[in-house]
């Protein structure tokens, strides 16, 4: 019978990669909590309408990549492809806008997109999503980028670049749209089929195309940055001033756009050449009109997402102090009565103690201890119980010690011997 395997783009995660995931999440949580963010868990399934209304029906995500199906009641449901839409829904559904002047939220969990799997990109992927509602001051945009800079420093990620741009407001984009369409119409035959459609529906999306010919055509196009209105340009100038005050480097990329329709003004990507052609591993920006578009009051918003798989690829493995591991081999029922006191005392001391539940022969237990890479093995049988001692065997040097049979002091005595 053929073995059942994971679906394409879905996988099991373990070992060093899972260790890196946990470390990344721990470091991010540390700084988010220091900056007064609150964690929230969102459902994996949402109504499809949520993503169509927020992300935009002309985006690749909605057109091609969502896992969408109808449930038994006939409702169209989608496995979340990103978290900002769900965050806005939760913000509105809980009425946070009425009770909190500012809401600073984050969530960690899996997202789903039906795209071609490639290095660090999968159909099920883990994301850390950070959102701030209620602040229109560009100071918060700079603060979020500074926090990213600090997080990456602690994770010892060195080869990265923060690219920033402004995509303006709807007014800026409307005046720019005419100029942009005029430019691309003259080069229509060089565009891919998707970008030909985008030309009519959402020409800004052409800048986000990964097709090499479309990228080449875009190189000489007009720039939205040059068409920013006075307010948007002032906002970006203030943002740059705050970045300078925080004291970390950014690169202005006037061709940077984001693949979602809701972005306004500040947008950014964090990239690394160590990741190859698809080099972005964090991205975000401001979305001052999204909450209102989702049926809420006019509320500014900004945030970003971290692709955990991508970040793990360029994160150094944590250097941790090696702590000895111990195994308790017991022979007979009298010796087994010490198992629970041993477990309690070693766990309370922060030490790892392995053991066998079935109490087989000493030879069998020693083989099992070796398979578990135990550094030291405690050996306890009837003779040792009668003498009030326990044997501690160093599995590398084969040296054995006799210690007092006292579960409360054994962890301390074992550690002393392990460092000699």
Domain 15-169+229-313 = CATH 3.30.930.10: yes
**pTM, 2 dp:** 0.77
At the second CATH level, the architecture of 325-418 is 3-Layer(aba) Sandwich (3.40)
Pair 57, 63: CB distance under 8 Å: yes
How many CA atoms does the CB half-sphere of 107 hold within 13 Å? 19
- Kindly give the confidence (pLDDT) of every residue in the chain, 420 residues in length, as a single tens digit, with 9 standing for 90 and above: 888 998 888 888 888 888 899 999 999 999 999 888 999 999 999 999 888 887 766 566 776 788 888 989 898 999 999 899 999 999 999 999 999 888 999 999 999 988 777 766 788 889 999 999 999 999 999 999 999 999 999 899 988 999 999 988 888 877 788 888 888 887 777 888 778 877 777 777 777 777 778 778 777 788 888 889 999 999 999 999 999 999 899 999 988 877 566 789 999 999 998 887 778 899 999 999 899 988 999 999 999 999 999 999 888 766 555 678 899 999 988 988 888 888 888 888 888 888 887 778 889 989 988 888 889 999 999 999 999 999 999 988 899 999 999 888 888 888 888 766
Which sequence spans correspond to the domains of the chain? 15-169+229-313, 325-418
């Amino acid at each position: 019978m053929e073995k059942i395997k994971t679906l394409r783009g879905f996988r099991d995660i373990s070992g060093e990669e899972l260790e890196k995931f946990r470390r990344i999440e721990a470091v991010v949580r540390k700084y988010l909590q220091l900056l007064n963010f609150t964690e929230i868990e969102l459902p994996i399934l949402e109504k499809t309408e949520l993503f169509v209304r927020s992300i935009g029906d002309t985006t690749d995500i909605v057109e091609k990549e969502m896992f969408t199906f109808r449930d038994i009641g006939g409702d169209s449901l989608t496995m979340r492809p990103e978290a900002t839409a769900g965050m806005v829904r939760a913000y509105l559904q809980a009425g946070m806008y009425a009770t909190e002047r500012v809401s600073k939220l984050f969530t960690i969990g899996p997202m789903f997109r039906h795209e071609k799997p490639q290095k660090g990109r999968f159909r099920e992927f883990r994301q850390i999503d950070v959102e701030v509602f209620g602040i229109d001051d560009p100071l918060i945009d700079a603060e979020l980028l500074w926090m990213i800079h600090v997080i990456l420093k602690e994770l010892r990620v060195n080869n990265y670049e923060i690219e920033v741009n402004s995509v303006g407001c709807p007014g800026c984009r409307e005046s720019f749209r005419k100029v942009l369409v005029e430019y691309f119409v003259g080069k229509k035959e060089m565009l891919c089929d998707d970008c030909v459609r985008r030309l009519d529906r959402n020409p800004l999306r052409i800048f986000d195309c990964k097709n090499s010919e479309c990228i080449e055509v875009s190189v000489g196009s007009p720039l939205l940055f040059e068409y920013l209105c006075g307010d948007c340009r002032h906002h970006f100038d203030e943002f740059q001033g705050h970045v300078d005050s925080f004291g970390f480097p950014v690169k202005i990329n006037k061709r940077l756009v984001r693949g979602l329709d809701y972005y306004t003004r500040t947008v950014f990507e964090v990239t690394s050449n160590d990741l190859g052609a698809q080099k972005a591993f964090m991205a975000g920006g401001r979305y001052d009109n999204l909450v209102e578009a989702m049926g809420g009051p006019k509320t500014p918003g900004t945030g970003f997402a971290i692709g955990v798989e991508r970040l793990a690829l360029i994160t150094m493995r944590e250097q941790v102090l090696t702590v000895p591991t111990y195994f308790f081999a017991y022979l007979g029922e009298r010796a087994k009565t010490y198992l629970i006191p041993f477990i309690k005392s070693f766990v309370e001391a922060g030490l790892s103690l392995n053991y066998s539940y079935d109490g087989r022969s000493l030879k069998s237990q020693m083989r099992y201890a070796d398979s578990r890479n135990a550094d030291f093995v405690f050996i306890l049988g009837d003779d040792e119980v009668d003498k009030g001692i326990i044997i501690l065997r160093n599995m590398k040097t084969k040296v054995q010690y006799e210690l007092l049979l006292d579960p409360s002091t054994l962890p301390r005595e074992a550690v002393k011997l392990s460092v000699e």
